[in-house]
Structure 1
């Protein structure tokens, strides 16, 4: 409970510094490719990561430092960064890929580096 409270406090502090925005939903067909976007507000952003969350499960780290796959993540998942957007591309979609996907990043105010939320 304490950890959850701390996380909520961090998110509230960060929300006034920078914002990450994702589309409400994306859809595609099995075997196809889908590209999920994460748009940032202006400012200095660093090291985007992506998480997958299925119902009743904890978030699973997929991508960190923009494009590095976490251990055990299939190479169907690819992270990239271009302009003001970070992207998660999922190729050859499988039934088990149905989930919520979240981006996260670090945001710099010039004097401090903050963890930015999903």
Structure 2
């Protein structure tokens, strides 16, 4: 990987328990990209969450920061480079024009059915 490359980590925390629980599957787990590239992170839900899918960014030593809620609504202050989309039970976070400031873990969370799994 080139020295200017970026590593975006996608961390999936899935709590397995009740059969009624919605399981989220994220891919890729990690991706190596270069500045200016576009990264697409997918989150597939085992059941329909009716658009109640949220994306968070967490940098080392900091709490998670809400980027996008309700599939595609950006939290105030989040750059337009971050966008969310949906096709059925598959949700995507797209980050364009990547910068070193985007190095982080990215989480998806469903907010439709308790417990609200990540």
Contact 2:55/2:108 (CA < 8 Å) preserved in 1? yes
- 2:82 match: 77
Which digits, 9 at most, give the CA deviation of each residue in 1:90-109, with x for residues without a partner?
000010000000000134xx
Task: Specify the SS of the correspondent of 2:109.
Answer: strand
Bigger share in helix: 1
Question: Which residue of structure 1 lines up, in the alignment, with residue 63 of structure 2?
Answer: 58
Ranges in structure 1 where 5+ consecutive residues have no aligned partner? 1-10, 108-112
What SS does structure 1 have at the residue aligned with 2:101?
helix
CA distance in 2, matches of 1:57, 1:15: 32
> Gaps spanning 5+ residues in structure 2: where?
1-14
Aligned residue pairs total: 102
- From the superposition, tell whether residues 31 and 65 of structure 1 become closer, same or farther in structure 2 (CA, over 3 Å): same
CA distance in 1, matches of 2:100, 2:114: 35
Tell me, in whole angstroms, the C-alpha distance in 1 between the residues paired with 2:42 and 2:56.
Answer: 13
- Alignment correspondent of 2:105: 100
Aligned counterpart, 2:35: 30
Separation in 1, partners of 2:54, 2:16: 19
Q: Is the 8 A contact 2:49 2:89 kept in 1?
A: no
> Structure 1 residue 16: deviation in Å?
5.0
Q: Higher Cα Rg: structure 1 or 2?
A: 1
- Normalised by the length of structure 1, the TM-score is 0.78
